[in-house]
Homo-oligomer: A and B are copies of this chain.
């Protein structure tokens, strides 16, 4: 039986950031945490074993917390504790659901990090990822860690293995990230179904050459190597057909100086990595021009890699 000290704070406000999963050649294994955009979440300690989730933006949310991305991880967390406590979560959703930059992961990760602070940080980051994965299951039907891991650890994270879970933080240089979210819907289920179950060995070899190069480039601050390695010969050629303008965006961004990039998560957002802010802004301009010319509504972000993950606001 764990006791909450009476001096313990009873509420906390956190910023839960967006994330980019499926980092080009790192499909299903490599993700990074963004500085912006982020959800704002406030979590209050309750004296009763229950979980309440409220949207401050007027979104209707299911009553049952187990059907909610932020609620389910907290129910799992409480199940592991012999304590008569609960949580109320209030969410200001700034990351648009379905954008491909980890909207559901931010809700799940923000909830568990905030709750853990109210519990006196009794859980490790890895345990928090496990709880948060329950939220991803609510959102997409699959327990995956590609977004919740970078959201909780910050920086770039490698999911070396999902069963058993093995998360490896990868120290990276301070890259700039430009994201464009064209306002079209790509259903994650469609993005999954379109993938072939088998791939050519020669393509797989190219892919693992590139992922090895990307990890080495990140750890050694070798921007050229990062750029050369940001190539996906397996997933992108198939999935990019779901995103209008993808090839044009990619070619123009690289011509503008981006190191490289690709589909964020399962799309429709596209992200590009750059060495400096000037390039990241030039890349943003190219992205906007492509989608404005297609009269396709779009949001863009120019941001950094967030090395902290979910962070406390008050």
On A, residues with C-beta under 8 Å from B are 25-30, 158-161, 166, 168, 170, 195-202, 204-216, 219-220, 225, 228-229, 234
Contacts and interface: CB of A to CB of B under 8 A. Distances in A.
B198 A229 contact: no
B209 A212 contact: no
A160 B215 contact: no
A2 to B, nearest CB: 30
Nearest to A195: B201
A55 B304 CA distance: 60
A166 B225 CA distance: 9
Given A196-B201, A198-B199, A201-B199, A212 B28 contact: no
Contacts of A200: 197-199
B27 A209 contact: no
Contacts of A197: 200-202
A216 B213 contact: no
A216 B158 contact: yes
Contacts of A160: 209-210, 212-213, 225, 228-229
A199 B204 contact: yes
Contacts of A199: 198-201, 204
A213 B219 CA distance: 12
B219 A166 contact: no
